[in-house]
Structure 1
Amino acid sequence: MELQALLSEAGRVNPYQLYAQLHSAGAASHLDVSKDGYDLAVFGYDAVNQLLRDGRFRQLDADYLDVHSPRWREHPVLQTLRDSIFFTDGPEHARLRRLVGQLFTARRVAVMEPAITKLIHDRLDRIAQLGADGDTVDFMAEFAYAVPSCVIGDLLGVPEADRGWMRPRVLAISAIFELDGSTWPNMTRADAATRELTAYFAGLVAQRRLDPRDDLISDLARLQAETPGVFSDAELIANLITLFNAGFVTTTHLFGNGLAILADRPELRDELVESPERAPSYVEEILRVEPPAHFVVRYASSAETVGGLPCDEGSTILVMLGAANRDPSIYAEPDVFDPSRFDAGGPVTPILTFGAGGHYCLGAAMTRLEGAIAFPAIFERFPGLHLATEPPPPTQLMFRGHDVLPIRLR
């Protein structure tokens, strides 16, 4: 495999054609690290699933960066990411996940369902007003970003007035995750955004220590006060920044990618409105066919075998979630959008969009719930909704989705 094929214009527009070619050749492939930046790519479903569950394959954590990029601490964004639950492993990760996870529970998600439902219908009211005279409405700005940022904002305790200010800073950090995104301009913008977000959340934590509320920031601040040494201030701030970022990016692209798929499929839209109980199957298939995140990266802490290929200690591995979700040995006709494959009672192989193992996404239940409420509501409210123009295909390879999505309501 040559990663440059994926980074080409054609590869960015349609990576799935390359994924299909890869599956015909096996489960993994060696790369030229000097040219591609990684030693191996793994894309077969079983190989990806096993690797993500194997603790010998680690995040690009501080131990890795100390060897391969000794000056990494000069970048605030890298320091913040490595202080978070997302880029730690072993006992350190278990400690942070135990602390954050107990506050990010299924019970808390379930309690939020009425508020999420109201928020979705409020946004649909706004879209109805904006599009009442046949004007185009940007679905991404007015719904796909607004809903999940408000949900995670309410959960954490970020004031509504501040959420618009946060979006460009979140996007600046997201840009460095692209396969070719670690450029100097991108890193400079991400560092600046991290400094601003760090100052912002430090101020918000200080407020909540004086005036606790029913939100995650107050809970974490209280836990820190009641259990000295449980986590540092830097860890607290880093996890608030990364939880906010991760809390809406996936759902934003679920909404945008899902609408783009269903906009010209009236038979599926009608079915969804008539049988809203099938919405979870639709959400799962959207997340499989057009996953919001296509890759994660790991390195081998010892010499191992990956997808049948030898892997040296220290090797970096591009883990291709988007390709694994289209493995034809797991999903029949993998390029066909077919929600029935996830209907209740049928054989279900879990999608890998949210990862697997110890780093399985904490917000997966929230994303699924938001999607299951939103899609039937959108098409019941606006049965004539259609794309105002054919959107350009996404060209991002890591967080893949639309920047704008103009719609008309009739």
Structure 2
Amino acid sequence: MDAQSIVAQLLTTEGRADPYPLYERALELGPAVPAGDGLLLVSGYEACRQALRSPALGADINLVTWGADISAHPSLALMSRTLLVANPPHHGRLRSSMSQVFTARRVAAMEARVADLTDALLDTVADAGSAPVDFMDAVAFPLPAHVICDLLGVPVEDRERFRDYATDLIGILELLADPSGLAAADRAAVELHRYFTELAGRRRADPRDDLVTAMVRARDEGTLRDDEELVANLASLLLAGFETTTYLLGNGLQTLFEHPGIMAGLRDGTVPVQGFVEEVLRHDSPVQTSNRAVLTDGVVVGGVPAPAGSHVVLLLGAANRDPARYEQPDRFDPHRKDIQPLSFGGGAHHCLGAMLARLEAVTVFSRLPTRFPDLRPAPGDGPVRRDRLVLRGHQSLPVVLT
């Protein structure tokens, strides 16, 4: 199977459901291989790591918008103004307005709040007794949603609405997304634009100690160019702040069901919870791919020349299972040494919320196995994964607690 065939298979429902056999074939072809149409497929760990850190490779919205008129789609117009797809000099300007909230000190200060939220959610699901509970609805979504909304300053009563908006809008990040399927994403973008325009106006009149206020200040001081850039980046921070963590929590619990010995080890302390979370990030990452554009001539990725203007697909899910980097890469082992998953990217585009996501996952998995020692999959229909490649996670994950 050549690289073009691998890309084509990854874009099918079957390929998205289980991309790992395709990743294995990509790795067999080499760390980086041309895939036609100016596309370079990169699967090797070291090649991906270097590409993520290279200033010669920038964010690439074109792999999402090929053939689409950005101005005709509110979702693409919103995303095109965000940190996610910005390159220098705009990237540094945008990142500086947000990074103050995601410092190690600020995240450490959130530990007690994350613990309290987790305990409250587990208290609520405990009331279900032996009735099935959807872990995604009950814990995996509300925990990171409350955490990022706390940081942003989004009122509690507004938070539930964002889940459907996120699901619809994040779909535009799929590799080679079909522009004809953007109607739902466009509707979500319009609603998010309206909401954050109003919230920014309220924070301008009544400042608070939150990220919305900080970014309004950055706009008024000229760090952000205009209100459109302000609103777009508030919306993208909201989505990035909980979508990947939601999937990390779901993927982690499914892993425990598949490895009951590890569940017992978390319970009795013989399995380190930090090692477990890092191995989930490596073995079944919530972020499977990242797109890059080659900005200058003379670039080589994984031993393959990549001319300026070409497009690079980094298969992070493959790199995290590269046998050149990890022994027995398909085996889940929370005791591995030197686990360094590429799941949060790297370089200038390293995820701002990586520390926070790890904190939330460690908090949940340090509590869940001991709070519910009989936790198991619900009988009947099994878990349902979303039909996505770039962001890999569950739509539903029914469990029985007692």
Q: Name the TM-score class by shorter chain.
A: over 0.9
Task: Quote the offset at 1:220 in angstroms.
Answer: 2.0
SS at match of 2:352: coil
SS at match of 1:164: coil
Task: Quote the offset at 1:243 in angstroms.
Answer: 0.3
Task: Quote the offset at 1:277 in angstroms.
Answer: 8.4
TM-score normalised by structure 2 residue count: 0.93
SS at match of 1:383: coil
Task: Quote the offset at 1:272 in angstroms.
Answer: 1.2
What residue identity is the alignment partner of 1:23? L
| Contact 2:288 2:316 (C-alpha < 8 Å) held by counterparts | yes
What is the aligned partner in structure 1 of residue 398 from structure 2? 406
Q: Quick one: distance in 2 between partners of 1:121 and 1:298? A: 40
What is the aligned partner in structure 2 of residue 147 from structure 1? 143
C-alpha distance 307-251 of structure 1, shift in aligned 2 (>3 A) = same
- 2:304 alignment partner, one of 304, 309, 313: 309
SS at match of 1:331: coil
| Contact 1:55 1:90 (C-alpha < 8 Å) held by counterparts | no
Task: Please say which of residues 376-385 and 299-308 is displaced more in the overlay.
Answer: 299-308
Q: Quick one: distance in 2 between partners of 1:375 and 1:138? A: 16
Task: Please say which of residues 283-292 and 230-239 is displaced more in the overlay.
Answer: 230-239
C-alpha distance 192-333 of structure 1, shift in aligned 2 (>3 A) = same
Q: Quick one: distance in 1 between partners of 2:189 and 2:296? A: 33
Query: CA-to-partner distance for each residue in 1:39-77, whole Å, 9 max, x for gaps?
Result: 11111011111111112112125xx69x97583222222
Task: Quote the offset at 1:180 in angstroms.
Answer: 4.7
What residue identity is the alignment partner of 2:370? E
Q: Quick one: distance in 1 between partners of 2:92 and 2:188? A: 28
SS at match of 2:154: coil
TM alignment of 1:94-113, pairs within 5 A = 94-113=92-111
C-alpha distance 120-27 of structure 1, shift in aligned 2 (>3 A) = same
What is the aligned partner in structure 2 of residue 166 from structure 1? 162
Root mean square deviation of aligned Cα = 2.0
Task: Quote the offset at 1:117 in angstroms.
Answer: 0.3
C-alpha distance 71-265 of structure 1, shift in aligned 2 (>3 A) = closer
Structure 2 spans left out of the alignment, 5+ residues:
none
Q: Quick one: distance in 2 between partners of 1:294 and 1:164? A: 26
What is the aligned partner in structure 1 of residue 230 from structure 2? 236
What is the aligned partner in structure 2 of residue 78 from structure 1? 76
Query: CA-to-partner distance for each residue in 1:168-216, whole Å, 9 max, x for gaps?
Result: 111111112222533313x122122111111100101111112222211
What is the aligned partner in structure 2 of residue 388 from structure 1? 378
What is the aligned partner in structure 2 of residue 54 from structure 1? 54
Task: Quote the offset at 1:374 in angstroms.
Answer: 0.6
Task: Please say which of residues 204-213 and 400-409 is displaced more in the overlay.
Answer: 204-213
Query: CA-to-partner distance for each residue in 1:237-296, whole Å, 9 max, x for gaps?
Result: 111100000000111001100000102433212221222882111110001111001011
What residue identity is the alignment partner of 1:236? L
- 2:246 alignment partner, one of 249, 252, 261: 252
Task: Quote the offset at 1:230 in angstroms.
Answer: 4.6
Task: Quote the offset at 1:231 in angstroms.
Answer: 3.7
What residue identity is the alignment partner of 1:136? P
Query: CA-to-partner distance for each residue in 1:292-337, whole Å, 9 max, x for gaps?
Result: 0101111212342221222232111111111110001101111111
C-alpha distance 108-310 of structure 1, shift in aligned 2 (>3 A) = same
SS at match of 2:325: coil
Structure 1 spans left out of the alignment, 5+ residues:
none
TM alignment of 1:7-406, pairs within 5 A = 7-33=11-37, 39-60=39-60, 71-129=69-127, 131-132=128-129, 134-185=130-181, 187-225=182-220, 227-228=221-222, 230-275=224-269, 278-303=272-297, 304-341=299-336, 346=337, 348-389=338-379, 390-392=382-384, 395-406=387-398
What residue identity is the alignment partner of 1:123? L
Between the aligned residues of both structures, percent identity stands at: 39
Q: Quick one: distance in 1 between partners of 2:67 and 2:25? A: 34
| Contact 1:264 1:386 (C-alpha < 8 Å) held by counterparts | no
**Count, aligned residues:** 394
Q: Quick one: distance in 1 between partners of 2:286 and 2:53? A: 21
